């Protein structure tokens, strides 16, 4: 008798849970929308109205200023894409970019970060998110995408492309 009561109680709890879940409309089966990084230049040349360069040449590489916030589950880092046209870097196959090295800090809302593109892996600024081991070519374009772990069958995928800027 006690066993029957326990089974009845479990069945009622399950039925109640199903009824509550079926009446709830504030959920979605869509994947969490990834945040898109923004390269801080209003024009493809990388200059803003306040004359701040989004891509700056220094020493043996470049600094790219980026506004980033990525707190999504599975976020792993960033991938930089280069190409000869703005459209080419924004629509490039997700596997053709170069991954940023290990994250030096977690990107959160409200801060301007720097991604350094240089041949060594040593960051020169405290605001650096990471270092991309690459030499950029003047006149080419760059874009950035966030990289996510989606699951065992799809170990890495990228979010939408940032805006594209031209390397000075």
- In this predicted structure, what is the pLDDT of residue 111? 73
Torsion sign, CA atoms 91, 93, 96, 97: positive
- In this predicted structure, what is the pLDDT of residue 17? 61
The pTM score is 0.73
CB proximity list for 71: less than 8 A, separation 6 or greater: 35, 106, 108
Q: How far does Cα 144 stand from its chain's mean position?
A: 8
**Cβ-contact 89, 81 below 8 angstroms:** yes
In CATH, what class is 38-166? mainly beta
- In this predicted structure, what is the pLDDT of residue 148? 83
Whole-angstrom distance, CA of residue 109 vs CA of residue 71: 9
pLDDT in tens, the chain (168 residues): 666 667 767 766 665 666 555 555 554 555 555 677 888 875 555 555 555 678 888 878 899 988 888 767 778 888 999 999 999 998 998 889 999 888 888 777 667 888 889 888 778 877 788 899 999 999 999 999 988 876 666 667 788 888 899 898
User: What DSSP assignment string belongs to 69-101?
Assistant: ----TTEEEEEEEEESSHHHHHS--TTSSEE--
């Amino acid at each position: 008798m006690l066993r029957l009561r326990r089974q009845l109680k479990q069945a009622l709890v399950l039925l109640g849970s199903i009824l509550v879940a079926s009446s709830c409309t504030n959920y979605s089966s869509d994947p969490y929308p990834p945040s898109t990084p923004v390269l801080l230049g209003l024009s493809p040349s990388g200059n803003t109205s306040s004359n701040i360069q989004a891509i700056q040449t220094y020493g043996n590489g470049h600094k790219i200023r980026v506004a980033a916030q990525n707190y999504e589950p599975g976020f792993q880092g960033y991938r930089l894409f280069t190409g000869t046209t703005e459209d080419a870097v924004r629509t490039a196959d997700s596997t053709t970019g170069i991954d940023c090295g290990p994250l030096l800090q977690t990107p959160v809302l409200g801060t301007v970060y720097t991604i350094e593109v240089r041949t060594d892996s040593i960051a020169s600024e405290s605001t650096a998110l990471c270092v991309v081991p690459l030499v950029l070519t003047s006149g080419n374009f760059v874009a950035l995408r966030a990289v996510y772990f989606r699951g065992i069958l799809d170990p890495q995928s990228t979010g939408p492309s940032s805006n594209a800027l031209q390397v000075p």
